[in-house]
Amino acid sequence: MRALSMASDTLHRMEWNLSSTATAASTPCIGICTLDHDGLCEGCLRNSQEIGAWGRLPEAERRRIMEQVLPLRALERGGR
């Protein structure tokens, strides 16, 4: 139950970040920058490769990851 609540909270914060960044580069970062045992950031669910490359990715790719990849990871994590 706690994992599902955390996944829901993460998705909510990610949605807020998607709608609140008009001119800045899109980012799912919520300031909880710790890699978990599965190699994903506890806050945004990106892996270390995504985090490292984020600033060099085109905006379209960042948005694709935020809109398609990260929500799936949140669901998978909540299902544990």
pLDDT per position as a tens digit, 13-33: 666 555 554 456 799 999 999
Token pair listed for 70: 């990260």
In the chain (80 residues long), the average pLDDT of successive 10-residue segments reads 59 58 76 94 96 96 96 84
Backbone dihedral region for residue 47 (phi beyond 0: left; psi -120 to 50: alpha; all else: beta): beta
In degrees and rounded to multiples of 5, residue 58 shows phi and psi of -65, 150
Q: Element (H or E) spanning 73, and its range?
A: helix 70-78
Question: What pLDDT does residue 78 have?
Answer: 83
Question: What pLDDT does residue 71 have?
Answer: 96
Question: What pLDDT does residue 35 have?
Answer: 96
Question: What pLDDT does residue 80 have?
Answer: 46
Question: What pLDDT does residue 41 have?
Answer: 97
Please, which residues bridge with residue 40 across strands? 47
